[in-house]
Chain A
Amino acid sequence: MCGIIGYAGQRSALPILLDGLKRLEYRGYDSAGVAIVGSGLQIVKDKGFIANLEAQLTPMTGTTGLAHTRWATHGAPSKVNAHPHTDCHGKLALAHNGIIENYITLREKLEAEGHVFKTETDTESLAHLIESFYHGDLEEAVRKALHEVRGSYGIAVVHADEPGKVVGARNESPLVIGIAPGETFLASDVPALLRYTDKVVYMMDKEMVVLTPGGALLKDLEGRAVHRDAQRITWTLEDAEKGGFEHFMLKEIHETPKAIHETLLGRVANLELDGLLTEDATSVKLVACGTSYHAALVGKYIFEEIAQVPASAEIASEYRYTQGATERPLVILISQSGETADTLGAAREARRRGCKTLCICNVIGSSLSREADATLYTRAGVEIGVAATKTFVAQLIVLYLIALRMGLDRGTLGYEEAERLKDELRSLPRAVLAVLNKEPMIQDLAEVYGRDARDAFYIGRHVNYPVAMEGALKLKEISYIHAEAYAAGELKHGPLALITKDTPVIAIAVDDPTYEKMRSNIGEVNARGARILAIGTEGDRELPKFADDLITVPRMSPIFSPVPVSVALMLFAYHVARLRDCPIDKPRNLAKSVTVE
């Protein structure tokens, strides 16, 4: 999802354009650029953060301009591919969202006419096409060019010879006009404008607009004026964005299947690892904090089982201050924001020790991604709730993908087995959906277990031991109930002393090699009178004899079970916190990304 903003007014355009870009950040991007018309046309663009761009800007003066954030989907994110694009003479700048379907034909024609192309993008052919029609009237040139174009577009265009003017057009890619006294705006989304005006006109397909400080002229592609009344925006950003859900956390839990789809996209068939040669690594070290650390702990089992490579997990703030063994593991750093101070410090430490580093994060262009040798993004979309939900699952998905690739590269994983694992990986969105469909029942169980609880214990074994830890963390974070997780085998070494009939126990007992052991652990707890909520596998007829209540997840290879099980535990924690009227999206004392050490 790319973002466009355009401005024609009397103030300096640059700060307004940069602010607008930041408000479009949530759409995701990997490169950004600005064009300002003042004395001539000035363009600055680069890949990465808007902050990168800001750092390079010499003060650009001019009261007209446009800016763009690009999210490369095919074609690499790079400085040259970033928008705005220009014509042969650097007089015209164009920002474009959408796809020009007939760009190859256009490009061949324009090249035959002598136009020189600098990039492989479809957008650049549109810039040259407008140039070929330009005879002193930008509006006319854009109109003629659009008659030759097939595809979707939202565009903004400026020309050095026509300061004070921005021309926009849309077809199947949103654009909205903002109107204020003495200035006009164009943006792909309302939030980019809200700081400057609440008066907007939505453009429709096959419409053009000419922005000048005096006002916006809306026309159709034949040049006939279109009249449409401006609308007043009355909503606030936060209300709108919850999309009918009571809390961001619940919205984000329900976005988990989508997060998995996006994270898998194009990577199951072939995972690109930025040239990082995983077959060279003799071991893997996973380093992270908080929820991401729990993903790292699950990762240890994933790497050992799928890639058959030794793996260990460490808390970032601990790893940084250890001496470090002589081996050189591949260090995988996990952080949702990519800004976690301790994880960043750990990345630097890993590199100092001569290790290759791979980072898993959700925010494009984050500090961690700049620090690491390679980055795999989780593509879970913006997460606003402080308690991590969909991003935890997306982190697991990336770990499965890396382990698969590593197993294939190292020859420890056969083709047939890999194909079977890929099929299971592809089925995970459905497995999560099956859990989401059980929400009404989980809500009822939250009432039974969570209403009056002061403490709660989570138990699991093997790959679901860290999942139990994550379940306990979720409950602590948002419901303020004291919750602890134990490896079920450790119960008899101490914690059993804490179990009474008033402490609910949540036990993960899916169908895996530890199932029998888990069942006897549940029996031990049962004997102390605690009420037990078990998470088991669909079709399990034995478990109800040992546990008081049961939430089931679809049958799958045990190594994948953390995905649906963790979602069940998120829903459980959410509904407990909701019953207890806790400020779910902003728990006390906690911040979304911890940028202090």
Chain B
Amino acid sequence: MELVDLPVPEPKANEAVVKLAASGVNFIDVYQREGRYKVPLPFTPGQEGAGTVMAVGADVTGVKKGDRVAWSGPLGGYAEFAAIPADKLVPVPSGVSDQQAAAAMLQGMTAHYLSHDTYPLKRGQTALVHAAAGGVGLLLVQMAHNIGTRVIATVSTEAKAKLAREAGADEVILYTQSDFEVETKRLTGGKGVDVVYDSVGKTTFEKGLNVLRPRGMMALFGGSSGPVPPFDLIVLSQKGSLFVTRPTLLHYTATREELMSRSGAVFDMMAAGKLKLRIEHTYPLAEAQRAHRDLEGRKTTGKLLLIP
């Protein structure tokens, strides 16, 4: 990742140019940088940001200069200005700061769709959340807790365990010390959990299937330890007629209506104090490399932001 000087973009007819106040750093940025997910070169990474509209294209009616907006999806966030399709911009309410908005878009909407749509959680159910002190993890634990679901969290350190508990996890497993499969079975009296939310992938997938109750669901939404290799479907029936899904945010914000509704729900929770975002790590834009190293080294908790 190189810091360069480029002209300020001009908006196309359907775009708005936003002056960024903050840009969110996500694991997907790492996968794109690595080439695991392909993007035509050269490109400016960053799929998430918040700021103020500076200019709008000829066909844009939904936003105007001066509006506070946020987005998730279109590339170009690691910059001072970004040209974003206007239909991807959502308004940021006054009770939410630019940094909070940038921090909340991708991870907040991800936690929201996972717990409200992919597997709509109910009071009394039990969910296993991996990487519970990560960006999505801490938000997902809070949302599950607010719904009244019992949360079993997995983390790698005591410090992260503390954060997961503060977010509402009922039980925390240090997977570096215990086998999460054995522990989860013990914690559920051998019954298993209703749903596993797994962003870790390769090292956790198969054991996750073992801790699901019959007809439970594996929601695999990331692969921070590596992609899950192809698996034999018969295993799903043997382990209890299990359901598997591999969701992405794109399909849960496919229409403007859904995007507005989901971002609105997340901002509402934040403004009401029901969803707390940890923004511990802010970096100047020029230090994007350090941000990635810290993220990949699993040293960080909560959200990382780049400030242009």
Are A and B associated in one complex?
no
